[in-house]
Amino acid sequence: MSVSATDAKNRFGQLLEQAQRAPVVIEKSGRRHSVLLSIEHYELLLSTQRHAAREAAPPAYGPEAQAFYAKYKDWVDMQNELVERYGVFGEEYRIW
């Protein structure tokens, strides 16, 4: 589905419901501008992107980092899962 930015503004509630079924493309000045997605589809895209990034370039850690991970594996994995699920606290306030 594709709608103009004006229609998106006027029918935002309806478009939120439509986005649960399929992505909604929003056009501005006759050109594709943005896409409205359901949270499930968005999280799937992020998960796929992270998985592909991990597969493409596995990190090379030094022996100290490997020893730390071996000792605290459960805690590190839990922290990584929280960051993937919720992001980094205060990320929107960083200036870089």
| Per-residue model confidence as pLDDT tens digits over 2-17 | 899 999 999 999 999 9
Spans of the chain, pLDDT less than 70: 56-59, 96
Q: Which amino acid is at 43?
A: E
pTM of this prediction?
Answer: 0.54
Query: Environment class of residue 24 by beta-carbon count within 10 Å: exposed (0-12), middle (13-18) or buried (19+)?
Result: buried
* Domains delineated in the chain: 1-58 (3.40.1620.10), 61-96 (no CATH)
Q: What is the pLDDT of residue 54?
A: 73
Query: Environment class of residue 15 by beta-carbon count within 10 Å: exposed (0-12), middle (13-18) or buried (19+)?
Result: middle
Q: What is the pLDDT of residue 57?
A: 61
| Per-residue model confidence as pLDDT tens digits over 66-77 | 899 899 999 999
Q: What is the pLDDT of residue 93?
A: 77
Q: Which of 65, 15, 10 is CA-nearest to residue 35?
A: 15
